[in-house]
């Protein structure tokens, strides 16, 4: 069977699989749904799954049949089952992984867009700042995300300020849809002090109680303590 490519899908419902065990007896696999990193082998098939907590796990079976570029890694959300000696993958969904860039970067030449979102959850995991956002959409198409960074205090105070860039491209606000984002943080590691704690302060625009867009600095005080290689 020809393997299908794993494409970047921003907004997609989650698929839960039920496995049959006999004619009349069914059970749900003991699965985990998490943000993880997957690594491909020479042929592009997924060979290794790296959870944010714990050791790398060999992939014994990938029921999605997905492939990515050979010998590369991809940040994904996966529904997987831990077996003896490895894992079985049931689903894979690519995450939005915006590389933080300063406000004067050409990617923001048309200005920094801050269309509002609702924060469902946000956490650190294996050198990433992860978040699940709730969007108000009509079609759900055309939404663009980025991270605007300010590293002016990085060397002296170990602080990185971040602002969520969100351009809804005039999509009308009718329905709720989820967006899954994983921001890489490894670029902030200082080679001369690789284990130092870095404070990540994160802002985004959301809605106030009257539905008016406002800036939220909820995750600025105290922010997130990022320790490279540990969280």
Q: What is the pTM of this model?
A: 0.85
What DSSP line would sit under 153-222, residue for residue? Answer: THHHH-EEEEEEEEE-TT----EEEEEEEEEE-GGG-BTTBTT--EEEEEEEEEE-TTS-EEEEEEEEEE
Q: What are the tens digits of pLDDT across the range 177-201?
A: 999 999 999 999 887 777 889 999 9
pLDDT in tens, 56-115: 999 999 999 999 999 999 999 999 999 999 999 999 999 999 999 999 999 999 999 999
Domains with residue ranges and CATH for the chain:
4-94 (2.40.50.500), 101-226 (2.60.40.2370)
Cβ count within 10 A of residue 226: 22
């Amino acid at each position: 069977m020809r393997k299908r490519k794993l494409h970047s899908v921003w907004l997609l419902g989650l698929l839960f699989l039920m496995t049959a065990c006999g004619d009349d007896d069914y059970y749900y696999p003991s699965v985990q749904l998490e943000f993880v990193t997957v690594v491909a082998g020479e042929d592009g098939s997924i060979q290794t799954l790296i959870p944010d907590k714990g050791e790398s796990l060999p992939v014994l079976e990938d029921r999605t049949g997905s492939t990515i570029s050979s010998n590369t890694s991809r940040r994904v959300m996966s529904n997987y089952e831990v077996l003896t000696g490895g894992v079985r993958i049931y689903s894979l969904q690519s995450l939005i992984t915006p590389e933080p860039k300063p406000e004067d970067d050409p990617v923001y030449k048309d200005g920094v867009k801050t269309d509002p979102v609702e924060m469902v959850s946000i956490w650190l995991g294996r050198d990433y700042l992860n978040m699940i956002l709730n969007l108000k959409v009509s079609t759900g198409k055309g939404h663009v995300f980025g991270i605007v960074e300010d590293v002016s205090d990085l060397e002296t105070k170990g602080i990185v300020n971040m602002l969520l860039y969100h351009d809804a491209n005039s999509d009308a606000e009718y329905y709720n849809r989820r967006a899954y984002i994983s921001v890489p943080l490894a670029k902030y590691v200082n080679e001369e002090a690789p284990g130092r704690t870095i404070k990540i302060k994160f802002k985004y625009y959301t809605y106030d109680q009257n539905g008016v867009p406002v800036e939220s600095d909820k995750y600025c005080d105290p922010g997130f303590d990022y320790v490279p290689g540990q969280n």
